[in-house]
Amino acid sequence: MAINWFKYSAPSTFYGLAGKLIPFFAWPAAVLFAIGLYIGFFVAPTDAIQSEAYRIIFIHVPASILSMFIYLIMAGYAALGLIFKTRLSSMMATALAPTGALFALISLWTGALWGKPMWGAWWVWDARLTSELILLFLYLGFIALHASIEDPRRADKASALLAIIGSVNVPIIYFSVKWWNTLHQGSSIKFSGTTMHVAMQQAMFTILVACWLYVIAMGLARVRSIILEREANTQWVKELQEAK
């Protein structure tokens, strides 16, 4: 029985599948998040230099990693939608953008709150933080462009092109900001230097996986709403029992 992968690439079949999948991602995400927090706060020891403030990295690092990867995945879906003209891929890209932007926001916020006790300033023009800020602008550009075009098909294609250009520029921006940062500030501040205690790594990894599951669940949930909005006048949507 060859699995017909393309069976689920049509919005109508994907809608039902996504509906079933969401709980399988959402609940494990919540559980893992709780476990991660527990390890982070109760198992991980106090850091020699930063005492308790370092615990912020358990949410800061996953958020930064995710904000970067979600952008690349978004650009990937956008490229798929542009090349193969599959509407669902473009819908997935649009569905992921807000979550990515929010993670960039969380990363910036927690970075600032971590920077204050450690480096004495709310905002430090550190290469990573600055690139994160620019990444947030790229997200906002994507969302703004998509929102300002009425025709969904043109909106998808235009924002897809922007996402692809953006993803090509992310490394260039990161390189130039890093180059600029080391030029003005000498070596950027390293994280406390001590190798991370195994419990710290476990906590961070658990929360990272939890965030991944959360992003998938959120993406699926949002894409279902987008499908409902876009395919409103199709026959299969009319027959949906929740639309009665």
Partner 1 sequence: MNWAEFFAMNGYGFYVWGSYGVALAVIAIEIIAVRHRRTLALRQLKLMNDSGDAQ
Partner 2 sequence: MNKLTMLGVLGLVIRRDLLLAMRRRADVLTTLVFFVMVVSLFPLGVGPEPDMLRKMAAGVLWVAALLASMLSLPRMFSADYLDGTLEQMMLAPQSLTMMVLGKIIAHWMLSGLPLVLIAPVLGVQFDMSSQALWVLMLALLLGTPVLSLIGAIGAALTLGLRGGGVLVSLLVLPLCIPVLIFGAGAVDAINSGMSAVSNLSLLGALSLFALVFTPFVAAQALRISME
- 152 is an interface residue for partner 1 by CB under 8 A: no
Interatomic CA distance for residues 66 and 92, integer angstroms: 16
User: CB of 212 within 8 A of CB of 67?
Assistant: no
The rounded distance, in Å, linking the Cα atoms of 220 and 116 is 36
Contacts of 57 (CB under 8 A, 6+ apart): 114, 191, 200, 204
Identified binder of partner 1 from the candidate list 39, 44, 60, 204, rule CB under 8 A? 60
Going by the DSSP 8-state scheme, the letter that residue 156 receives in this structure is H
Cβ atoms 215, 98 nearer than 8 A: no
134 binds, among partner 1, partner 2, none (CB under 5 to 8 A by kind): partner 2
CB of 144 to partner 2, least distance (A): 6
Rounded CA Rg of the chain? 20
**Cα distance between residue 68 and residue 73, in whole Å:** 9
Nearer to partner 1, 77 or 114 (CB): 114
114 lies in the binding site for partner 1 (CB under 8 A) = yes
- Provide the minimum distance between the beta carbon of 170 and partner 1 in the complex, in angstroms, as a whole number: 22
With 0-12 CB in 10 A as exposed, 13-18 as middle and 19+ as buried, what is 105?
middle
Q: What tokens does 27 get?
A: 């609940």
Query: Which stretch, 53-61, 62-70, 178-186, 222-230, contacts partner 2 (CB under 8 A)?
Result: 178-186
Applying CB under 8 A, the residues found at the interface with partner 1 are: 37, 41, 51-53, 55-56, 59-60, 63, 98-99, 102, 105-106, 109-110, 113-114, 116-117, 214, 218, 221-222, 224-225, 228-229, 232-233, 237-238, 240, 242-244
Give contact residues for partner 2 (rule: CB under 8 A): 134, 137-138, 140-141, 144-145, 148-149, 153-154, 157-158, 161-162, 165-166, 169, 172-173, 175-177, 179-180, 183
